[in-house]
Structure 1
Amino acid sequence: MASNKPAPEAPSPFTADGIGGPERTWEEWNPTAESIRPVRGKHRVAKQRGLARSSTVLGVGVIAAVGAGGMATAQSKPPVSISLPDSIADNLPDAKSLPGVGAFMSEDAEDAEAAPLAAAPITSAGITSAEAEQGTTDAGEALRARILQQAEQQQASADAEAKAAEEKAAAEKAADEAKKQQDEAEAKAKAKIAAEKKAAKEAAEKKAEEERLAKLRASYTLPASSYTITSTYGQSGAMWSSGQHTGLDFAGAAGSPLKAVHSGTITSAGWSGSYGYRTVLQLDDGTEVWYAHQSSIDVSVGQKVSTGETIGRMGATGNVTGVHLHLEVHTAGGSALNPMAWLNSKGLNV
């Protein structure tokens, strides 16, 4: 700071030789709030002119700039060196004594620790310690990087949520499809089981019916061994007084044996008008079997007969046009039944 030589002093009107009067003595000026406050009214302090005023203002500006921690220094410009003559630098007031400046010049430890932060470039505001460690010095670039990072994080989060939603939807769809297939498989299995049960039931019923018919066949038999069916039950014609045939006709050789279809009791045996010689066999359940147009009768009323026992002979007595057996079946109440259907129900194929 004192490298420059002092400027030559101008002659003063008050010199020691007495030309200008007695020599004036200069004292150190310490500006205070009272001394620099302008006085209103008539008594105004004359404005100081010359090098002293300029030097003082310049020194205050320098001290203020230095006390502010270099805030006036632009980051993009190199610092400017300021040098003052020794005569002026020695006479500068203490910066701490200046009103409003001392507050910036605190000697406390906290201010000393905060000084490096105050000296930091203005553009470093908003930079985190992690970014500073990474070498980031531009606040705008750091803000931009953080915004981009946040955007990437948000996009990644949105992508993750979308992916999770897709995976969830796919899992739900797969679960639904699996459940649908399982339900179909279970339905098919149930249907198969039901069909098997039905088939088994039908087979069991069929077997039971066959066994029943087999037993019936063992206890029932056809009335003739060699025959030809010539007229069936319900057939219409003028040959019958009622206009319809009431029995089943077995045509065969005259004198061939007629057998009892089932065990029972003979309730009628003899002549019966248009039926010729007729025999009535009553079964244990009350059903009556009529044998008509016989040439002869081999049993009597009240006689017990067994299945297949001969009860008479085939003939052509009564209202007939040829040799045959006219067979009728009646319920215990007297109603007529279809002889062919009745014989079939007993396991016999006519």
Structure 2
Amino acid sequence: MALTRSTGKHRAPGRVSRNGARIAGVATLATTGVCGTLASPAAAAGNDTSATPASSSEDTGTFMILAADAEADSIADEVADQAVTQKRAAIAREEAAEEARRKAEAREREAQEARERAAREAERKRLNAYQAPVAGSYVSTAYQAGGGYWSSGSHSGIDFHAALGTPVVSVGAGTVVEAGWGGAYGNNVVIRMNDGSYTQYGHLHSLNVTTGQSVLPGQQIGLAGSTGNSTGAHLHFEARSGADYGSDVDPVAYLRAHDVNI
């Protein structure tokens, strides 16, 4: 905001200007003695000089009054100028503070947006993450191992060592498409993963999910057991490209492709 003092042809002369002119006039009159002549015609005729001292005293008093008046006007103008300067400085400070506030708010918005993006990215990674179905375990029977234990003549999945009652979790996010008795698999869970593949968890002692339920990576789906065609407690884990039996793929390669170290 700009503060100005009125200017232009309609402005009356300032008191300083007027008084300055008066002072100059009085000083001239006092110096030349014209003031005394005008103030006392008798003295001008040379008949009476007694009026001269009185006239000089009066002129001197007038001069002092005008000088004091001019000084007061000068001080008033300085005060007014200082007030304008201070007002401008105050406005400048307010504008600077407002600008700083806007910048701070903009930085906070950017930081909040960055935090939200980071949170979304972390959630996306979590939902797309994979892990082993049994924590801290190892593969006790390999994929496609031969033997008379399996009707197909070879192992269609892998077995994880797991004592009875060991928690079994979903290796990733997906939807349960089967939860219940699965014949030779005993109590089993089949999950359609979000990437379109399928995983199967067999010989469970008990189940913690139902058909149609969505599951997250690491969510418990049951407890390890020895139901169905089993000789002892463990987890049978399969990875499939489709929902049907016979579409199995190497579970170790499947998990490693999803960054699970087996």
Relative to the length of structure 1, the TM-score reads 0.37
More RCO (CA 8 Å, sep 6+): 2
Relative to the length of structure 2, the TM-score reads 0.50
**Radius of gyration: which is bigger?**
1
